[in-house]
Structure formats: C-alpha cells, structure tokens
Amino acid sequence: MMTKLLSARPFPFSSALKSKPTSYRRTIFLAIKKPKSRFFTRSITGLIATLSLSHAALAAPVFINEFHYDNNGTDTGEGLEIAAIAGTDLENWQLLFYNGTNGGIYKSLDLNGVVSNLNNGYGVLGFPTTGIQNGPADAFALVNPLGEVFDFISYEGSLTATEGPANGLTSIDVGLEERPDSLLGLSLQRQGSGTLSDDFNWAIDTASLGSINNEQDFQVSSVPLPASLWLFSSACIALLGRQRSCHRSRKQTSV
C-alpha cells in the first residue's frame, strides 16, 4: 500500500473584509493509493496452467483399439488391444468387463507392458483373454492406476455401470457386433487417421491383436499441441498487456 502527502489551505474569505491577512492552518491529508487488482493476471495465469494440463493429458491418449468376443463355433482368439503413445507403461492399468444385464463387473484383467513405437510415435499392446460375454450390451472399461476411466465402450447396446470405477457412467456403443455365425479371424477395430480415440471409426476386419489395425494410421496434428498452447498463451499475454495499457491511460487522464 502506498501513501502520498497532499497539502490544502482554506480559501481566505476574511482577507477581503480585513486589511490584515487572515492566518490559516496548513492541513495535511493522506491519500491512500489502492493496490492494483491482480485478479485479471491470476485468472489468465490459471487458465494457461489448466490448458497446459489438459493438453498434456491429450498428448498421451490411451484407449481400447480392438477386440474380439464371438465367432462361429467355439470362440477363438478372444482378447482386447490397447493403443497409446510410445513409452506408455500399462503396469497397474486394468480392463473391467461389465455385464449388460445388471451393469455389474463380471471379470477383470490386469495389464502390463510398455508400448513400443509402431507408427509415428504410437503403438499397441494385445491382451488375449477368454470368457468375454457375447452380449447384448456388454462393455469394457479401461482404468488407470488412479482408478480413472479412460475408455468405456460396449457392443450390442449401451449400459450404465452400477459398480466399480465406471459406476454411474453410460458406455458408448461401438455400433457394430460379432454374431455366433461370424467368421473366425475377424475383430472389431478402430480404423482411420488421428491420435485420439474419437479420431477413428469402428470397423470389422481381419484381427490384428498386438499390431496396428488395417487402414489405421496415427497422424500427429499439423499444429502440434505445444505450439497451439504457445499461440494461445501469446494471445493471453497480449490481452494482459492491453489491459495494463488501458489502466495506465485512465490513470494519466485522471491526473
């Protein structure tokens, strides 16, 4: 807080009536300068930090990339595949299997392994398993070591989980299914180009558990996320400078 001394004297009305000048007493006032508000600066700084964290999360996607659960005759080659940025360690991650009848967990699978670079800095790991239910409306939840659900998909309908990390969440139906007469050697898999789960479309194709899917290409955005964040940060800094400039202009005008 800053203070400034100001002096003032009363107007000598009496001097106009008397020949002798009227004495006056010097009065001292203290003008308190209000500290500048830091709300705008803190708000911008907090927003940039939040977006930095959001971009960091988007830079390391982990999602279910392929699965097979049903085919003609005895189910063969059942399992799921996880896609992630190269170097991602899946130790202590989990796959939870949800029952479409009651939304409960009927099976769990502990994951492990480090994702290798198979395509433009991304890769996949396959996890063969048995006993995957054939629907309808059964689901998979991909859960990280902190118990956070990273992906929650289902087949032959959607369900709302009633227990576990996905409790209360509604699954996203992939829109395709395998039937009891489906040919052996096929799977449901994401295809297309991108880096995040939503960049790809589900298709039925030759199973490739542990390998990049057919017609799938991991392509980094033309404007990398750090660059996008830098552009946004620069705009915020410019806005902050403008706000300060306006503040100074108002101050000079009032003097």
Q: Half-sphere exposure of 139 toward its Cβ, with a 13 Å CA cutoff?
A: 32
Instruction: Give the Cα separation of 224 and 244 in Å (integer).
Output: 31
User: What was the pLDDT predicted at 11?
Assistant: 41
Which amino acid makes up residue 246?
Answer: C
At residue 200, does pLDDT exceed 60?
A: yes
Of residues 133 and 56, more confidently modeled: 133
What's the Cα-to-Cα distance from 251 to each of 40, 67, 85, 197, 247, rounded to whole Å? 18, 65, 52, 52, 6
Sign of torsion, CA 155 158 159 164? positive
Which residues fall within 8 angstroms of residue 29, CB to CB, at 6 or more apart?
5, 6, 7, 8
Mean pLDDT of 5-17: 43
User: Do residues 193 and 199 lie in contact, with contact meaning Cβ atoms separated by under 8 Å?
Assistant: yes
Which residues fall within 8 angstroms of residue 166, CB to CB, at 6 or more apart?
96, 98, 139, 141, 143, 149, 152
Site of tokens 């796959």: 95
Mean pLDDT of 125-146: 97
User: What was the pLDDT predicted at 238?
Assistant: 52
pLDDT confidence of 15, banded at 50, 70, 90? very low
User: What was the pLDDT predicted at 220?
Assistant: 72
Q: What is the per-residue pLDDT across 72-91, written as a single tens digit (0 to 9) for each?
A: 999 999 999 999 999 999 99
Model pTM score: 0.66
Domain positions in the chain: 60-218
Site of tokens 């939304």: 103
Q: Which of 16-20, 145-149, 163-167 has the lowest mean pLDDT?
A: 16-20
- Strand pairing class (138-143; 94-98): antiparallel
At residue 242, does pLDDT exceed 50?
A: yes
- Strand pairing class (94-98; 105-110): antiparallel
User: What was the pLDDT predicted at 239?
Assistant: 56
Mean pLDDT of 219-238: 50
Mean pLDDT of 89-96: 98
Arithmetic mean of pLDDT over the chain = 78
Nearest to residue 85, comparing CAs of 120, 110, 53?
A: 120
Q: Half-sphere exposure of 112 toward its Cβ, with a 13 Å CA cutoff?
A: 1
